[in-house]
Amino acid sequence: MAKVLMKGNEAIAEAAIRAGCTNYFAYPITPQSEVAEYLAKRLPEVDGVFLQGESEVAVGYMIFGAAGAGERVMTTSSSPGVSLMSEALSYIAAAQCPAVFVNIVRGGPGLGGILPSQGDYFQATKGGGHGDYHLLVLAPDGVQEAVEMTMQAFTLAEKYRNPVMILGDGMIGQMMEPVEFRDDLKSEPSNKDDWATNGMSTRGSKKRNLVKSLFLDPAELNNNNLVLKAKYDQMKREEVQFEIYNDDTDYQVLITSYGTMSRVCRTAIDMLKDEGIDVAMFRPKTLFPFPEKAVYDAAVKESCKSVISIEMSMGQMVEDVERCVKGQRPVEFYGECGGEIPSPEKIIEIVKGLI
Amino acid sequence: MQTEIKFAGFGGQGILLSAKLLAYAAMKQGAEVAWIPSYGPEMRGGTAYCTVVISDKYIGSPIIKNPTHLVAMNRPSLEKFAGDVKPGGIVFINSSLIPVRSEREDIMELVVPVNDIAIEAGSVRAANIVALAAFAAKSGLVDLDLLKKCIKEEFAAKAKIIPMNMTAFDAGVKAAQES
């Protein structure tokens, strides 16, 4: 298919349709409302269900219900809305249901602002809701990758029976770039008959499926947590995705960055190269599972003197970078937030200070 | 080689659409493109601006402080952004609404009475198409026939207004050539 020019939000919506998403529930919030607008029109065309909930709390449980019934389901929101959904996320993870959550992050905390931010890294990767659970978190750096990750997200959610989050930001949601909906990105059919409450007669089975998150027997609850833990360990083995830019050089500094911020860093690296200074960038595409070993390996290259995490936050991913580099190199941080995005010139100034 | 064009004006002047059409035509020519709106809590009639990046390689930073060119559709836009344009760039001035000039010696001014031309072509609403056509003709960034085709595609659902917009387009090109 030929390339089309689309806004990130619309491209995510179209990708969901092509991945076979049949149910979408959401509550409007800037900067992602175009997803809902697009799907309100598009989902009925494919006999899907579009429903605007009365709040994000309700939407979270609509997702839980549809996912439990084996429907391919998605919601999209932005930071404050995702906070409201976090309780349901914990339930969905505990009950092992597949669902796709998209967070087009805006500045926080509180109502914050509506401009792009990366302040929800902790919320996305370390919880948000209660209990020992993780989301599988994918972080696109542009519209094309947002499409590919949305389509992957449904497959991954079903493979692990776990919620998957796309962590974008307002820039990715609002900007237009050429996108291609490649046929090879189609999602796999679901294994839902094994677990979903989609009706015994529907699946031709005598076995009852049960979706629940309440385990009053401590041994049973411990066991459920072990099952979840085994899935997160499997994600760490099988699902890590990352990219390293300009690593075939004797780089003195390794930048770690993701999403929109990584694109600015890439421009800064190109500009530094013109001055004869080599800097590399490590870009995780999966924030959970975090590319632990790969970032360590990139950091400890002999030429590399220091690592700096550059984020549109006050310092969140840097904690994972520090953890993975294990003290082998100094790990610095630079960030701006609230909608301010560090410029390539600013990054160059900061990086030069490390050399 | 990367070119960045900032389009700026009042909300409702069709700034975002002009920018999108330019990006679309450049994409059809095989370039990498990005269309980056300023989004914020704006009201109707407030300022709207948008940047298009056209490049022969992967586009890194989508944040552009100093664009190559500026298309200013109203006075506040010219006053706010003219100083940011890189030396050697085009500063397009809609002289129907802007009585002043950029006061820069190191850029090329393209002064076109966009609204007057659009009214003559049939509707002031085609002002954005006049500006786009004139800017495209002067900058040579995209093939003009291809750009026309993109406009026709964009308005496919409103076929009635295509002929008027084509008239506006041709008048815009002519104005640029005569300036």
Give pLDDT tens digits for B146-171: 999 999 999 999 999 999 999 999 99
pLDDT value of position B90: 98
Mean pLDDT, residues A106-123: 96
Percentage of chain A modeled with pLDDT above 90: 93
Distance CA A348, CA A346 (A): 5
Q: Based on the domain organization, do A218 and A255 belong to the same domain?
A: no
Closest approach of chain B CAs to the CA of A216, in angstroms? Answer: 48
Backbone angle region of A34, left / alpha / beta, with phi > 0 → left and psi within -120 to 50 → alpha: alpha
Q: Based on the domain organization, do A151 and A106 belong to the same domain?
A: yes
- Which residues span the domain enclosing B123? 2-178
What is the domain count for chain A?
2
Q: Which strands, in side-by-side order, build the sheet including A286-288?
A: A49-52, A23-26, A73-77, A99-105, A163-169, A136-138, A286-288
Mean pLDDT, residues B76-93: 97
- Mark which of A213, A238, A263 sits at the end of a domain: A238
pLDDT band at B41 (very low <50, low <70, confident <90, very high): low
- Mark which of A238, A255, A277 sits at the end of a domain: A238
pLDDT value of position B179: 85
What is the domain count for chain B?
1
A266–B60 CB contact, under 8 Å: yes
Mean pLDDT, residues A21-34: 96
Give pLDDT tens digits for A299-321: 999 999 999 999 999 999 999 99
- Which residues span the domain enclosing A72? 4-238
Distance CA A295, CA A331 (A): 12
Distance CA A24, CA A74 (A): 5
pLDDT at A285 over 80: yes
A336 contact B CB<8A = no
Closest approach of chain B CAs to the CA of A267, in angstroms? Answer: 5
Question: Can you read off the two tokens belonging to residue B74?
Answer: 């109203």
- Mark which of A238, A270, A295 sits at the end of a domain: A238
Nearest Cα residue to A35 out of A86, A4, A77, A89: A77
CATH of the domain at A34: 3.40.50.970
B57 contact A CB<8A = no
Percentage of chain A modeled with pLDDT above 70: 98
Mean pLDDT, residues A219-240: 98
Q: Based on the domain organization, do A190 and A273 belong to the same domain?
A: no
